[in-house]
Structure 1
Amino acid sequence: MSRGPSPTVRRRRLAARLRELRENANLTIDEVGEKLECSASKISRIETGHVGVTPRDVRDMLEVYGVSDEERDTLVQLAREARKKGWWHAFNEAFTGAFVGLEADASFLHTHQALLIPGLLQTEAYTRAVIRAIRPDIGEADVELRVRARLSRQKLLTEESNPPEYWAVLDQGVLERTVGGPEVMREQLKQLVELASLPHVTLQVVPFSAGAHAGMEAPFLILGFPEQADPDVVYVEYSTSGVYLEQPEDVQRYTLIFDHLRAAALKPDDTVEVIDRTANRLS
């Protein structure tokens, strides 16, 4: 997998720049749609990154905005690159939305989970048990497709030459819930110990003794990017879907929540000891 900007991140960057240029030209979405003889909803979907945009559409929009030839050529090329397919397109049935494309280009990933091991840290057997439990409606072939997709995602942490900084704060209940049986869970916990030894991976556990804590509402992931043109984004996960939060005040709120969680959690070294002891109890 490449660590260059993913097509998803390029599309997000292009969308933000197109919105900025329209606003600089003092044009509304309706006015642009009228000038280009297309619906205002199409312009809106392009500016939010919900749909791809062709190089021709970009060229037409930039002409309306009065953009210089140099920037026009740059943005048209960005549109071409944004239409390329990432490795995850081979798993379209398993991955939905922009999540994996954003994850692939992040410079840091900060996550909190209160119910299960985060996907990037799961063993194959744990993943299979989780998918079977949460998706009893799908067949074995679909289960295996999702398992392979998740294992491919994990290469981001284990096989990249420049992996993202990964920091996970887990509730103690994640360690105590025996998923897939004692042997599967023991293997999973031992893998957490191994991954925690990587220089770019940090694990912390919020113990039961901490009581109520800031992360009890829903699991979330904060994704940070190396380029200033790509602002941080928060992905909040719900039972059947997730939402992306990009407004600075939302990102700041979840950053504060994560800081509170880190403060309430055991130190990384103590966390590894707790994980190891929990694994040994399953022997």
Structure 2
Amino acid sequence: MPLVGSTVARRQLGRHLRRLRHGAGKTEADVEEANIASRVKLWRIETGKVAVKVGDVRGLCWLYGTDAKTTDTLSMLALGTREHDWWEDYGEKWFSMRHGLEEIADELRTYNTELVHDLLQTPDYTRAICLTTHPDVTDEHARGQVKLQVERQQVFLTRIPRPRLAAVLGAGALTRPVGGPAVMADQLARLRALNRRDHIDIRVLPWDAGPHPAMRLGAFTILDFHHDDDPAVVHAETHTGARYLEKPDELAEYRRIFDLIYRKTMPIESYRA
């Protein structure tokens, strides 16, 4: 019987439930003795082999002593295990699926016309974006967001083996003065420094490249994985959520678009604002 629903949702839900079980010090036998799932069923859930019922997620979270917010979030993710493609709502979440996927992806290809990608931002750039998007937040909240961003970057940039990252930035991402001239000068210097790493390729789509195929799409990231159980996925973000696309024809189209715009780019070292 063929699998249905989002593979990325199944795999991510399984990983989170496994981490919660280990954190709670529970074994497969504990789950079976609680009459929540057999060992075989638990293995299938944690490895993303099956669609998962909300009741099973809530039962496991109860056994692990998980808080209500996390339980509700994972229950919503369980619904995605039965649907093709998956929409992640940013309203109430304790994790972003994208961050979990970045931790295991072997290659990322990303395009953004207005914003430097999160994995490439300086702390001051991140802080400026945070305060612009949410001008009423406290300094403590902004510092917390910067700290999380730095930690996320460290996880990605220090992984072994090194994941590959190809980033195409629109000229607007480098000419718009986020945080002021000094912040932008530091940001450009960081981009050039990162680009000297063998596994990172940062390119700029200049204004004189003219019209290009991604003009209607907005920002997107293609994530590829070496593990056969983790199919490639496209992450397309909006202000309130993100969509994860897994269908072969959708992936092929985004790969085609990325390849076309990449041909119009120049290395970050050659770019002059």
Match of 1:75 among 31, 44, 50: 44
1:98-177 mapped onto 2 (5 Å cutoff): 98-177=97-176
Q: What amino acid does structure 1 have at the position aligned with 2:210?
A: G
| CA positional deviation for 1:163 | 2.0
Give the equivalent residue in structure 1 for 2:246.
Answer: 246
TM-score w.r.t. the length of structure 1 is 0.67
| CA positional deviation for 1:249 | 1.1
| CA positional deviation for 1:168 | 0.2
1:1-283 mapped onto 2 (5 Å cutoff): 20=2, 48-49=9-10, 75=44, 78=47, 96-216=95-215, 217-266=217-266, 268=267, 271-274=268-271, 277-278=272-273
Q: Is the 8 A contact 1:156 1:163 kept in 2?
A: no
| CA positional deviation for 1:76 | 6.5
Distance 1:96 1:260, change over 3 A: same
| CA positional deviation for 1:48 | 4.8
Gaps of 5+ in 1: 1-18, 24-43, 64-68, 279-283
Per-residue CA deviations over 1:146-203 (Å, capped at 9, x if unaligned) read 1111101111343223221000001111111111111111011000000000000001
Q: Is the 8 A contact 2:171 2:205 kept in 1?
A: yes
Q: What amino acid does structure 1 have at the position aligned with 2:224?
A: G
Q: What amino acid does structure 2 have at the position aligned with 1:75?
A: R
Per-residue CA deviations over 1:115-147 (Å, capped at 9, x if unaligned) read 111000000111100111112242222211111
Distance 1:248 1:142, change over 3 A: same
Distance 1:211 1:141, change over 3 A: same
More helix by share: 1
Distance 1:95 1:113, change over 3 A: farther
Inter-partner Cα distance in structure 1 for 2:46 and 2:163:
26
RMSD between superposed Cα atoms in Å: 3.6
Structure 1 outlier segments of 4+, above 6 Å: 44-47, 60-63, 82-85
- Secondary structure of 1:146 counterpart: helix
Task: Say which one has the larger Rg.
Answer: 1
* Total equivalences in the alignment: 220
- Secondary structure of 2:103 counterpart: helix
Distance 1:152 1:95, change over 3 A: farther
Q: Percent identity?
A: 31
Distance 1:239 1:118, change over 3 A: same
Q: What amino acid does structure 2 have at the position aligned with 1:165?
A: R
Q: Is the 8 A contact 2:111 2:168 kept in 1?
A: yes
Distance 1:51 1:191, change over 3 A: closer
Per-residue CA deviations over 1:193-251 (Å, capped at 9, x if unaligned) read 00000000001111101112122221000111111111000000112221111111111
